[in-house]
A and B are shown apart, each in its own frame.
Chain A
């Protein structure tokens, strides 16, 4: 019986090492807990806070914070806390899906470019080209061009969601692709890859079994930091009025709405802005800690 326990501790998963290192980084731990807290608050909050964010109550408009409405109400009498919660849901899900798209694209292009020598040139030229594009202007233009078509196809909210997620994803995969390509190029020269090839492993299984697991760490770091950039880009779009429609609150949209009245109700600017900044800050700290934890040179020191 004791033997079994020994084996279990001996065959410890490397992710536990990563977790041990991650735990020692105080900022990262704090960032991760804050981010988790924000996600829980935003998704479980509506069950505790039953106000409808869309419910218009003219008699109680422009209320200052009170027990009934902790963050006050807006110019149409909608509860600000409920709007913040539902806005957070959209902002975070947009950030996560855009990050997922960009990481998948970046990994795909990076692995293909690093693994297949023939594809390296063209794919890396494509990456350079994307890096040279003026991204924010193009996102603004494209978000206006495809808005109507996608809204017609998937409904106003779904269409804009798909539009914004794909725009952010398509314009932010380049860094991931470059890092992954570099790592794959180095991996290809290692003995275990040679060994795997010598027993006749086909390319497809080579990539999924041997290459991908070994480039997971840079991918995870850029995925974490990608959440932050995606949330900022979405908020910037909403802030400039190119994002979600007005009756569909996101944090950027709420900020944009309150800017017009910031002279009378400055606190309305504060909450969505703070929410965005806090989320991004916590994600950035998390990414920082993750980078340290996944770096084997630091780990175990």
Chain B
């Protein structure tokens, strides 16, 4: 197991390097110029100097290596400095956003909590709803509950978040006025009333994201439970006189959770992708919205960093899913 983990980790490094190269080369094709906003009265020589100060105009491989150094060495050093008050990264050029002229990572760090709150909450809520639904519809296969569950998850699968989001806004905030349609990130929670406001404004985006997650995971849970319910050990458990509750919720559930856990881990990166759209609908200023605005503003360093962060998430959670599978299921032997 340990050697497998090490092997997968070492394989993840070239994968990430290659992905970063793909993203970098793609962005090299971009037609934008960071000096497009600079007034025309600035002479061209000065513009050229400004471009060089941003690290442009150098050969492509030099730019790429510089970006790698900035991202993997200088930014972590800055984080270290910030946490322990040291001055290791002083005087080093960080990855600078063309839009705001401040370090990209600082902006991402500002935006990340909103995304994590909404997305994380949605994922937790979605899983909490999905697991019981999956268990019951498998246990009572082809019952009314199962049929309805199948239909609802098919619908949840088919309605894209940009429609379900808009639909719940029209129903619950425009017609009924129960929830606000815009997520206010400046809202500070300090007492009961403000906590209630926070809860209300999180409700719609979280539910929209959770609907999709529930639809996927409850299907997996059902299939996995069905696989296990007909196994011999279930009959043995019943034969030795274990109560039905214990048989289903202890014996079968624990074995059925193995593939479901990996699916949950694998779904985390794609949920960040879904958050791009949900954030746009509910005007949450998280990293998804940051990505959209920086693509529109041609802010290439920001786009590059954000896309790469998404790539890191995907590779990381794939790795976690693989390792979890091996840890949870003793039948799986990687060596």
Scan residues 221-264 of chain A and give those whose CB is less than 8 A from a CB of chain B.
228, 232, 235-236, 239-242, 252, 255, 259, 262-263
Hey, which chain A residues are within 8 Å of B269, CB to CB?
134
The one of B22, B29, B280, B306 that contacts A240, using a Cβ cutoff of 8 Å = B280
Minimum distance in angstroms from B94 CB to a CB of chain A: 22
Please state if A259 and B166 are interface contacts (CB–CB under 8 Å).
Answer: yes
| Beta-carbon contact of A133 and B273 below 8 Å | no
Contact partners of A76 in chain B: CB under 8 A: none
Please tell me which stretch of A36-44, A172-180, A277-285 contacts chain B, meaning at least 4 of its Cβ atoms lie within 8 angstroms of it: A277-285
A263 surroundings in chain B (CB, below 8 A): 174
Q: Given that A134-B273, A240-B280, A255-B166 are known contacts, is A277 also in contact with B291, CB under 8 Å in the complex?
A: no
- Known interface pairs A239-B162, A240-B280. Does A132 touch B273 (Cβ–Cβ under 8 Å)? no
Would you call B162 and A141 a contact (CB within 8 A)?
A: no
Known: A129-B15, A145-B30, A262-B169. A134 touches B307 (CB 8 A): yes
Contact A281 B280 (CB under 8 A): no
Contact-residue size bin, chain B (C-beta under 8 Å from the other chain): 35 or more
Contacts of A140 in B (CB 8 A): 276, 291-292, 295
Complex interface bits, B154-172 against A, C-beta within 8 A gives 1, otherwise 0: 1101111011001101100
B157 lies within 8 A of A284 (CB): yes
- Taking the nearest CB of chain A, how far is it from the CB of B299, in angstroms? 11
How far, in angstroms, from A141 to B276 measured CA to CA in the complex?
13
Instruction: Kindly list chain B residues whose C-beta atoms are within 8 Å of the C-beta of A240.
Output: 276-277, 280, 292
Tally of chain A residues near chain B (CB < 8 A): 42
Q: Is A144 an interface residue (CB 8 A)?
A: yes
Interface positions of A (Cβ within 8 A of B): 128-129, 131-138, 140-142, 144-146, 148, 228, 232, 235-236, 239-242, 252, 255, 259, 262-263, 266, 269-270, 273-274, 276-277, 280-281, 284-285, 288
Q: List 10 A-B contacts (CB under 8 A).
A: A129-B19, A137-B306, A138-B23, A141-B27, A141-B295, A145-B27, A259-B166, A259-B281, A273-B166, A277-B160
The 9 closest A-B pairs by CB, nearest first: A134-B310, A273-B163, A281-B158, A280-B158, A136-B273, A266-B170, A239-B162, A277-B159, A137-B307
B: which residues have CB within 8 A of A? Answer: 15, 18-19, 22-23, 26-27, 29-31, 154-155, 157-160, 162-163, 166-167, 169-170, 174-175, 269, 273, 276-277, 280-281, 291-292, 295-296, 303, 306-307, 310-311, 313-315, 318
Taking A132-B19, A137-B273, A270-B167 as given, write out 14 further A-B residue pairs in contact, using a Cβ cutoff of 8 Å, ordered by the A residue number: A134-B313, A140-B295, A141-B26, A141-B27, A141-B30, A144-B30, A235-B162, A262-B169, A262-B170, A270-B170, A273-B163, A277-B159, A277-B163, A281-B155
